[in-house]
């Protein structure tokens, strides 16, 4: 049973929940849309933290301590991408959190492979998982880490859907494999020093395979 006590963090600027977006099931493993899952899995493995299915939170959850010794939650929603907000809202309500304490990690077609970009807030930018989270939280004011997956082929039938649900070509896969540990390092910095410092260090970085 999850602890019902509110998460006590003396610095509200630091994330208290890290959410990786993706779709559950082996058919979606290592697809472009599941980069958020991969990053949170890698983050949890290095902590280490066990990601355990939790029906209350509609996802796999890891419950650890932040670098400051406060409770820190890792979350991978099992609701499928378009309903990600259900899981995020469940965690926010249970632990009585401000939405600004939630850091969301997700794929972004507007960024090339090899680029990361933190933002303090903003619109969904067409991403259905982010649309769901914004709808359920009732605000755009929460930080996010966008992970570049490159643009879709507009001439391909169902180009966007095929792109995000497809797997990376071999060379792009090598580059993503290099991106994931950098993204984990970026999240660690964000958890220690806040989103602004992570933005300053990582938003202009080009990561090569």
* Residue 191: both structure tokens together: 């958890």
Catalytic residue, from 33, 127, 136, 163: name it.
33
When computed from its CA atoms, the radius of gyration of the chain, rounded to whole angstroms, is 16
Q: Count other C-beta atoms under 10 Å from residue 61's C-beta.
A: 24
Judge contact between 24 and 78, C-beta under 8 A.
Answer: yes
Residue 33 annotated among the catalytic residues of the structure = yes
Judge contact between 187 and 180, C-beta under 8 A.
Answer: no
d(CA 113, CA 109): 9
Burial label for 201, CB within 10 Å (0-12, 13-18, 19+), is middle
Residues carrying an active site annotation: 33
């Amino acid at each position: 049973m999850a602890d019902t006590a509110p998460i006590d963090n003396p610095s509200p600027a630091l994330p208290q929940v890290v959410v990786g977006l993706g779709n559950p099931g082996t058919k979606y493993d290592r697809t472009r849309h599941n980069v958020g899952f991969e990053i949170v899995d890698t983050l949890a493995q290095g902590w280490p933290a066990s990601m355990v299915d939790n029906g209350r939170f509609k996802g796999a959850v890891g419950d650890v301590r932040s670098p400051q010794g406060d409770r820190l939650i890792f979350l991978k929603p099992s609701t499928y991408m378009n309903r990600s907000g259900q899981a995020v809202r469940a965690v926010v309500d249970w632990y009585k959190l401000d939405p600004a304490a939630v850091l969301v990690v997700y794929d972004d077609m507007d960024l090339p492979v090899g680029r990361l970009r933190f933002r303090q807030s903003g619109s969904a930018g067409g991403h259905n998982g982010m649309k769901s989270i914004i709808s359920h939280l009732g605000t755009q004011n929460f930080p996010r880490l966008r992970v570049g997956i490159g643009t879709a082929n507009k001439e391909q039938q169902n180009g966007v859907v095929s792109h995000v649900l497809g797997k990376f070509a071999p060379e792009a896969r090598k580059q993503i494999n290099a991106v994931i540990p950098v993204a984990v390092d970026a999240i660690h910095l964000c958890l220690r020093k806040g989103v602004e410092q992570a933005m300053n260090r990582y938003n202009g970085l080009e990561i090569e395979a």
